[in-house]
């Protein structure tokens, strides 16, 4: 047996081998140690080596936990039934489960794609292919090395395939699997999918590796679709930092709950949810495609069609992933019921779409796809499948009465035999005069006659004793045995026939795979569009307009997430063709960061085909959005905040074009004031003068407001703050010009410093601002400061008045006075 084990293990050395041994899957040696540790189960010894096992019955649970942690599991099963006399059962690795190839519903997250991806680098280019085993989706692309991270940021990959001997072109999240270079073969791919990916050889090589790996780990996938070539340029670039800064999928702060996705997601089906997520991560760049989505969203709002469609779509199942079970022959009876329910809602959905006139192009396309859904399939499942099918197709009770004459006949025969057995009970009761005589059944004995012990004397000689219990005795007779045997046979035949009919039904579904796959896509798209319409309607979004001029005009824009939790103050933004840089000043907590992000999100939503949170929005089509907002989590990665910030800035400077939008919040925070200001200045200037993208730059350093004087196309905005009855009130209103003051002194007033101290502070502040303006003539080398800062100024710069207690402030004020003197 151990030889068998070692042979199996040698075949899949990088997987944990689950070795079928009776009622358990056992793991041995290092696998056992790992499994015991990761799953928190007992480690035992067998012949001196470590062993750990899980019951076969519950193996799924454990396997899925291992997959989620990135491990692979090979199932080595007994492929023979245990029989007498045979010592060693034959065992074979029947399947290798890996994080990127799972099919089982329980192991998949229904709201996210689970892709297996292969990378095939050659020179400066990379072929990329990605597929989802569970749904059969298959895509490929070719990109330059530098664009690879941006492509990968858009797809959720769980496992990577790389050719042996080739270093990974970048850091990859998740487990990697090294494969023989020969598997990265376009020929392999085209042997399976003739003419796939014409002219894209690198993509085809990567796709070949995906195909080979799926065949090896999962087996045949009838539902795998031919790979579609994706244009890496079709989507707006949103790098991972931008995704995070804008809180698209995850909140920046752990206590945050809402994300942009959570606000936008009103989908009713998992497939719709996954698609909407993809749309959010890859806004479009093709104006016609964007407008087509917007047309559809608008039509669904105007007819209020989103509402009934929502109700109907809740009845649709996760069709793409159901097709995975069709393609791998693991369809459950329940799946057929779900499929039928899905097909059954189509006519009503089509009626609602038909009510819209004119029907926009996207919706017309979807209506067509729904119309092309397999005809008669729902009806056939309805006729065949019982209304409450058992979970296991081998259980019987699967097929309805009246579907198949032979089955009906077998069932009628079984019923007759059962009636005869019941009649036998009466007959024997009369014959023996035992009033409590019963015919019973259990799995071990089959049918038997049972009497209480008090009547033992009346037992006729032709009964044969089967079993004695405490108060009862069980018997059988030749007649009962005969009836029972015929009944078992008939039931067995009926069950086998049911299974066969179920298989046929599954095959019938399999024939419709391509049509059903199209249907799944159409329903997902309808769900996503519908969700956008619902949000637009409920939250009062407007349809964005696109302009060929590089100009942004937003009236009463809002932040889609912040407005969910606060009484939101809408804000405008106007950036004309020749406006490149908006410097947004204002004290901490004024609302700078929210304003910046809302602009970026409005542009992003618009290009994904969504309405936007504003009264009016006119935007150019952007190729990239860069957002750097909030505390960077680079500290966790071992980089200093400053280093991380500068690295990110470098990425922006090399990637941004005049068609990009750049959002920088408090850049330069991670270093000393001087360095930070100087770098922030230089970076902003470079963006505005050289790259000429649209940049929004938020800072609480009012010194940066001078950029507006230095740099053509730069202008100032500030977030207004007002004092009212001696209190600082954050108005959250964005206005032209520079913030009047830093408001440190106002905050000090709040803290009830003596009036003399406050007026002295104001006097000094005014003096300092007069004496140490940014020296224009030095702007080239050292743009922000005069050659010499007065030591008092330096001291002042270091202060954060909002953090001082009144007493400390007073103390410092006295010291500063002393220094001046």
Which residue of 566, 657, 672, 759 would you call a contact of ligand ADP, by CB under 6 A? 566
Which residue of 502, 568, 715, 785 would you call a contact of ligand ADP, by CB under 6 A? 568
CB of 666 to ligand ADP, least distance (A): 7
**Could you tell me the two tokens for 11?**
């075949």
Q: What is the DSSP string of 467-499?
A: EE-SSEEEEE-HHHHHHHHHHHHHHHHHHHHHH
Residue whose pair of structure tokens reads 């196309």 in the numeric block: 713
Size of site (CB under 6 A) for ligand ADP? 15
Cβ atoms of 730 and 589 closer than 8 Å: yes
CB closer to ligand ADP, 162 vs 677: 677
Asked whether position 562 contacts ligand ADP by CB under 6 A, the answer is yes
Binding positions for ligand ADP, 273-312, rule CB under 6 A: none
Asked whether position 588 contacts ligand ADP by CB under 6 A, the answer is yes
Q: 3-state class of 583 per DSSP?
A: strand
DSSP element (H, E) containing 743: none
Beta-carbon contacts of residue 30 (< 8 Å; ≥ 6 apart): none
Q: Which stretch binds ligand ADP (CB under 6 A): 53-61, 192-200, 563-571, 789-797?
A: 563-571
| Residue number with the smallest Cβ distance to ligand ADP | 591
CB closer to ligand ADP, 16 vs 599: 599
Which residue of 27, 177, 259, 593 would you call a contact of ligand ADP, by CB under 6 A? 593
DSSP 8-state symbol, 688: I
Asked whether position 590 contacts ligand ADP by CB under 6 A, the answer is yes
CB of 598 to ligand ADP, least distance (A): 8
Stretch 333-372: interaction string toward ligand ADP, x if CB under 6 A: ----------------------------------------
What do you get for the CA distance between the two ends of the chain, in Å? 93
Closest CA to 520 of 203, 155, 189, 132: 132
Which residue of 337, 343, 569, 575 would you call a contact of ligand ADP, by CB under 6 A? 569
Per residue, the 3-state secondary structure of 348-390, as one string, reads HHHHHHHCCCCCCHHHHHHHHHHHCCCCCHHHHHHHHECCCCC
Closest CA to 269 of 236, 316, 206: 316
Q: 3-state class of 694 per DSSP?
A: strand
Beta-carbon contacts of residue 807 (< 8 Å; ≥ 6 apart): none
Q: Break the chain down into helix, strand, coil percent, rounded to 5.
A: 45, 20, 35
CB of 589 to ligand ADP, least distance (A): 5
CB of 595 to ligand ADP, least distance (A): 6
CB closer to ligand ADP, 368 vs 588: 588
CB closer to ligand ADP, 63 vs 552: 552
Q: What is the DSSP string of 237-300?
A: B--HHHHHHTTSSS-SSTT----HHHHH---SSHHHHHHHHHHHHS-B--HHHHHHHHHHHHHH
Binding positions for ligand ADP, 670-709, rule CB under 6 A: 698
Asked whether position 732 contacts ligand ADP by CB under 6 A, the answer is yes
Which residue of 533, 594, 627, 793 would you call a contact of ligand ADP, by CB under 6 A? 594
Q: What is the largest CA-CA distance in the chain?
A: 128
Beta-carbon contacts of residue 534 (< 8 Å; ≥ 6 apart): 266, 306, 307, 310
CB closer to ligand ADP, 366 vs 717: 717
Q: Which stretch binds ligand ADP (CB under 6 A): 138-146, 269-277, 345-353, 592-600?
A: 592-600
CB of 728 to ligand ADP, least distance (A): 13
Give the strand pairing for 137-144 and 91-97: unpaired
CB closer to ligand ADP, 543 vs 732: 732
Asked whether position 599 contacts ligand ADP by CB under 6 A, the answer is no
CB closer to ligand ADP, 342 vs 571: 571
Q: Which stretch binds ligand ADP (CB under 6 A): 374-382, 564-572, 687-695, 788-796?
A: 564-572
Q: Which stretch binds ligand ADP (CB under 6 A): 22-30, 114-122, 266-274, 568-576?
A: 568-576
**Could you tell me the two tokens for 128?**
């990329």
Strand-pairing partners, residue 55, are 24
CB of 647 to ligand ADP, least distance (A): 22
- Pick left, alpha or beta for residue 197 (phi over 0 → left; psi -120 to 50 → alpha; otherwise beta): left
CB closer to ligand ADP, 454 vs 588: 588
Asked whether position 591 contacts ligand ADP by CB under 6 A, the answer is yes
Q: Residue 453 CB: number of other CB atoms within 10 A? A: 11
Give the strand pairing for 49-55 and 24-28: antiparallel
CB of 261 to ligand ADP, least distance (A): 19
Q: 3-state class of 698 per DSSP?
A: strand
Strand-pairing partners, residue 132, are 137
Which residue of 179, 543, 592, 694 would you call a contact of ligand ADP, by CB under 6 A? 592
Residues that bind ligand ADP (CB under 6 A): 562, 566, 568-569, 571, 586, 588-594, 698, 732
């Amino acid at each position: 047996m151990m030889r068998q084990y070692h042979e199996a293990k040698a075949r899949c050395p990088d997987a944990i081998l689950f070795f079928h041994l009776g009622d358990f899957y056992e793991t041995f040696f290092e696998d056992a140690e790992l499994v015991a540790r990761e799953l928190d189960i007992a480690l035992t010894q067998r012949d001196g080596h470590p062993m750990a096992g899980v019951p076969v019955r519950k193996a799924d649970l454990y396997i899925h936990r291992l997959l989620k942690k990135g491990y692979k599991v090979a199932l080595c099963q007994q492929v023979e039934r245990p029989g007498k006399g045979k010592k060693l059962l034959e065992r074979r690795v029947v399947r290798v489960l890996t994080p990127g190839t799972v099919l089982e519903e329980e192991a998949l997250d229904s709201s996210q794609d689970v892709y297996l991806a292969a990378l095939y680098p050659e020179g400066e280019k990379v072929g990329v292919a990605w597929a989802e085993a569970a749904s059969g989706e298959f895509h490929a692309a070719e990109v330059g090395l530098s664009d690879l991270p941006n492509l990968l940021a858009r797809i959720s990959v769980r496992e990577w395939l790389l050719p042996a001997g080739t270093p990974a072109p970048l850091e990859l999240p998740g487990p990697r699997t090294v494969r023989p270079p020969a598997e990265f073969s376009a020929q392999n791919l085209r042997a399976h999918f003739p003419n796939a990916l014409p002219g894209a050889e690198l993509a085809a090589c990567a796709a070949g590796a995906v195909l080979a790996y799926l065949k090896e780990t999962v087996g045949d996938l009838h539902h795998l679709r031919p790979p579609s070539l994706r244009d890496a340029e079709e989507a707006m670039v949103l790098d991972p930092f931008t995704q995070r800064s804008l809180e698209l999928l995850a909140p920046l702060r752990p206590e945050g709950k809402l994300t942009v996705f959570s606000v936008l997601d009103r989908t009713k089906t998992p497939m719709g949810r996954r698609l909407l997520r993809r749309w959010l991560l890859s806004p479009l760049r093709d104006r016609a495609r964007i407008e087509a989505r917007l047309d559809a969203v608008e039509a669904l709002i105007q007819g209020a069609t989103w509402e009934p469609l929502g109700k109907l779509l809740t009845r649709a199942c996760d069709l793409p992933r159901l097709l995975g079970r069709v393609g791998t022959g693991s369809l459950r009876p329940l799946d057929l019921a779900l499929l039928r329910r899905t097909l059954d809602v189509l006519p009503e959905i089509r009626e609602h779409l038909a009510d819209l006139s004119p029907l926009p192009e996207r919706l017309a396309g979807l209506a067509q796809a729904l119309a092309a859904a397999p005809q008669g399939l729902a009806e056939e499942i309805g006729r065949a499948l019982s209304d409450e099918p058992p979970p296991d197709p081998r259980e019987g009770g699967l097929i309805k009465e009246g579907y198949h004459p032979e089955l009906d006949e077998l069932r009628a025969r079984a019923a007759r035999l059962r009636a005869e057995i019941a009649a036998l009970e009466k007959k024997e009761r009369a014959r023996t005069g035992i009033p409590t005589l019963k015919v019973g059944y259990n799995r071990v004995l089959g049918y038997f006659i049972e009497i209480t012990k008090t009547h033992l004397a009346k037992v006729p000689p032709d009964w044969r004793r089967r079993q004695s219990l405490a108060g009862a005795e069980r018997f059988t007779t030749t007649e009962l045995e005969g009836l029972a045997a015929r009944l078992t046979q008939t039931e067995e035949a009926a069950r086998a026939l049911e299974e066969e009919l179920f298989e046929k039904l599954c095959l019938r579904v399999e024939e419709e795979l391509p049509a059903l796959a199209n249907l799944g896509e159409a329903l997902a798209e309808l769900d996503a569009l519908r969700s956008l319409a619902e949000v637009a309607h409920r939250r009062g979004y407007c349809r964005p307009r696109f302009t060929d001029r590089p100009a942004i005009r937003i009236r009463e824009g809002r932040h889609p997430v912040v407005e969910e939790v606060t009484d939101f103050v809408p804000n405008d933004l106007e950036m004309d063709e020749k406006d490149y840089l908006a410097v947004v000043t204002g004290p901490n907590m004024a609302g700078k960061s929210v304003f910046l992000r809302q602009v970026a999100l409005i542009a992003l939503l618009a290009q994904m085909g969504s309405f936007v949170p504003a009264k009016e929005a006119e935007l150019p089509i952007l190729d990239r959005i860069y957002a750097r907002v909030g505390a960077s989590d680079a500290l966790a990665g071992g980089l200093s905040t400053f280093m991380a910030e500068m690295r990110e800035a470098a990425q922006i400077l090399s990637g941004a074009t005049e068609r990009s939008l750049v959002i920088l919040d408090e850049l330069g925070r991670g270093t000393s004031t001087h360095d930070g200001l100087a770098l922030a200045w230089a970076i902003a200037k470079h963006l505005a003068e050289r790259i000429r993208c649209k940049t929004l730059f938020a800072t609480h350093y009012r010194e940066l407001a001078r950029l507006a004087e230095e740099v053509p196309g730069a202008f100032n905005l500030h977030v207004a703050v007002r004092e009212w009855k001696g209190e600082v009130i954050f108005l959250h209103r964005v206005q032209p010009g520079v913030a009047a003051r830093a408001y440190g002194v106002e905050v000090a007033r709040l803290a009830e410093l003596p009036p003399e101290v406050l007026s002295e502070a104001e006097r000094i502040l005014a003096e300092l601002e007069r004496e140490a303006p940014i020296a224009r003539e030095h702007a080239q080398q050292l743009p922000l400061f005069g050659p010499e800062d007065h030591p008092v100024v330096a001291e002042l710069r270091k202060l954060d008045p909002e953090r001082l207690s009144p007493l400390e402030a007073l103390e410092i004020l006295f010291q500063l006075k002393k220094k001046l003197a």
